[in-house]
Each structure stands twice: as structure tokens, then as C-alpha cells.
Amino acid sequence: MAQDDPRRSIPRTDQLLGLPAVERARERLGEHVLRDVVHTAQQRARRGEITPGEVAAAVGAAVAARTATALRPVLNATGVVVHTNLGRAPLSAAAREALAAAAGYVDVELDLTTGARSRRGTAAREALLAACPAAEEALVVNNGAAALVLATTALAAGREVVVSRGELVEIGAGFRLPELIASTGARLREVGTTNRTHPEDYARAIGPDTGCLLKVHPSNFRVEGFTAEVGTAGLHELAAAHGVPLVADLGSGLLVPDPALPGEPDVTTALEDGADVVLVSGDKLLGGPQAGVLLGRAETVARLAAHPLARAVRADKLALAALEATLAGGPPPVARALHADPERLRARAEELAAAVGAPVVAHDGRVGGGGAPGVPLPGWAVRLPEAAAAPLRAGEPAVLPRVHGGACLLDLRCVPEADDARLRAAVRTALAGLGGEG
């Protein structure tokens, strides 16, 4: 490097690490992250992207913008309430407060009165039983798949799980229910056909080697036309007659019937129809954190809780705290989005449309997350040019629209009303980058 090369004046690493902005950032960023920011700024100067005199300012700006996680908050403007790619259910204010409190030391497994060890997650269990009185007992594990694995392992390892062929579903990311159950050491005994299964199909399959009967809600698809299935009540009669447990995997997490979701199975009805244990996810229609929730007869749930695998799949303190607060607090965002007033949605859409010079069109939202497949959630969307989608996703705040029919559609169902101004600013920025607002 020549003596007069301006790159020789690039500030040293120790000087940059001693900047006041960097010192302040040490409370929230690790030393290796700060060094990476400094080295990045120095490399930019070596490549001539910035001058040596601009390096310190670049470092200051970079550490101010840097967070300890790469995850970015997103405004969900797709109209899909339980959006798996966005982390499924957004947590309520009560659940977020509970998460913050549980981040420190908490009495998750301690009786503060006696100082003795207590049952783990007692408060979450009590909240579940209060929200679903039809259940005698409750257990929380780390996700819905874990709940199914625990149930089939504890009840049927080395034995048979009797299930309809029409319910052998594939869940997200390519995981298939048959493979999941096979991993537990249980054997699948498939009965019926894809579209029609009858009580006698189950009856012929039940024998000395039967560990349990399994009823699975297909959730993310529907079979229509020439179909037949055996409901939970019908399976209960068979299970009781042969002395085998009945497991119902509902998936979507509805605790009680919801008129807005006709046909969506719920835990209360399944228990009243005779299921010994019902499995649901905590981060779908329940509106809480990722968790597998098992509700049912005290004897059956106790049997699952006593299995060694229960320790391996148990929920952590953060999930337990957020789940309890979801149940004990006000309506979570999922419930609010599902039951949003269509007229208010239209008024908000029209306000946004007027501000950015775009039309409003009718738009059906969806439950998502495998819940109520095919059930529309009537609403409205602001129609933008399709090219606006990319800058919206990359903007600040990040906005995820629905791209459909050659258009970029913004459905405000899942956007908190308090964020309408931020959404409006993001849309204006994205359209300005396209050269206009229409």
C-alpha cells in the first residue's frame, strides 16, 4: 500500500471499539458481534465504498441498528390469521408480559410457601382446566407433534395404533403422520379407504395387540363427495367395548365450538363424545405459544405424564407462562382477527386506499395453520401493483401482502389497528420506489 494511500488512515479496530456508541451497545450486543460490525465498516472503506473519515459514523449507525436476533417483526397483511411462516399465532399483550416476567427466575417448579419442590406448570394446567371444564386433567409438552408421539409411545409402543387411511395426513415441512407414529415403535393398523371408513372396519382390526384407536382431524384439506367416516362418539363405543383408549388429534386448538368456524372440531365436544385424551396445538386457534396440549381423562393423562418421554418433550417456563396468560387474559389476536367486524375492516381499508390512491376490493381471508380449511373469512383488501410486494417485504416495517391474480393485496384483518399509520407509511415508500402511488 502506497504511503499516500488514503486507506492507511482507516481507524484502528481498538479505536473503533472504544467509540461511545460501541460502548453503549455492549449492554445488548456481544463482543464478537461488535468486532464484526467494526471489521465490516473497515472493509467498506478498503473497497472505497466510504472514506476513512466516514468509518466511525458507519460503525455508530450499524451498532445502533443491529439487534441481537435476525428475526424481523412483520405486519401480516395476507388475511391468513394463523400464518405458519410468520410463527403462527401472535401473542396477546398479557402473554408477552408473562414472557418477560418468566425470562428471569420464576417459581415454575417451586412452592414459595413451603420452599419445597412443586408440580411443574401448575398454573398453566389450572388455566387449561378452567378454560375446558370437560377435561379432568391436562398436560403441556413442547409442540403438537410431541403430543402425538408421547400419546402413541405411552399407549401403543410395540403394539398397534388403529387409524383410518383417510386420516394419514402429512403435516408441515414434509412430516408425515405414519412416519411420526412409526418412530415411536408402534405399528400402524390402517383401516377403511381414503374416502370411506366404517365402524366395522375398526371392529375387525381391534384385537389383543391394539394399543389405542386414533382419530385424526385432517385439518389442512377436505375430502368431499362419496365419503364416510366414524366420529368420535362412534369410536368411543368401540374403544369402550374392547377396553382400549381413544386418542383424538384435533391439531388446530379450538377448545369450544365457534360459530364462525362451522365444522371445525373442538376439544370440549371430543371429550364429551368419549375421547380419552385430545391433542391440540397451543399456537393455532388457541392463540398462544408453541405447545402441545393434552386434555382428557385423569387416568389416561397421568399415564402419559408418567412416561419417561414426557420429560424429553416437556414445555419450558416461557411456553407455560405464555399459555397461562393466553387463557387467563383478554381475547388473543387470533380470536380478534377471526371475529373482526367486516365493516370496520372495510373502513380501515378505504382509509388506506384513499391515502395511497388505490382501489379496495372484496377479499376472503383464511384461518390458516390447518384450521377450518376452505372456510372463508369475508373482508376487504387494498389492491396495489404486483411489483409493490417485494419492496413492502424488504421495507421498514416489513409488510407481507398476498400476491394473487397479478396484484399485491393488503388485507388488514391481521394488522393491529394501532399499526395502520406504519402500514400507510410503508405503502407510500414502496409505491414511491416504483415511481408512483397507483
Domain boundaries, the chain: 6-65, 74-84+335-434, 92-329
Residues 6+ apart with CB under 8 A from 272: 134
Mean pLDDT for all residues in the chain: 94
- DSSP tag of 228: B
Compute φ and ψ for 345, nearest 5 degrees.
Answer: -60, -40
The CATH classification of domain 92-329, taken from the options 3.40.50.300, 3.40.309.10, 3.40.640.10, 3.20.20.70? 3.40.640.10
Q: Return the half-sphere exposure (C-beta side, CA atoms, 13 A cut-off) of residue 414.
A: 29
Task: Supply 106's cell numbers.
Answer: 420464576
This prediction's pTM? 0.91
Neighbours of 231 (CB within 10 A): 14
Task: Supply 386's cell numbers.
Answer: 404486483
Write down the CATH number for the domain with range 74-84+335-434: 3.90.1150.110
- Cα–Cα distance, 255 to 341 (Å, whole number): 22
Q: Tell me, what's the pLDDT at 1?
A: 55
Q: Pairing state of beta strands 360-365 and 377-385?
A: antiparallel
Q: Tell me, what's the pLDDT at 438?
A: 44
Question: What is the tens place of the pLDDT at every residue in 133-169?
Answer: 999 999 999 999 999 999 999 999 999 999 999 998 8
Q: Tell me, what's the pLDDT at 263?
A: 86
Q: What H or E segment, with its residue span, contains residue 104?
A: none
Task: Supply 107's cell numbers.
Answer: 417459581
Beta bridge partners of 242: none
Domains 74-84+335-434 and 92-329 belong to one CATH topology: no
Task: Using 50 as the pLDDT threshold, list the residues of the chain that sit under it.
Answer: 437-438
Q: Tell me, what's the pLDDT at 374?
A: 82
- Cα–Cα distance, 98 to 429 (Å, whole number): 35
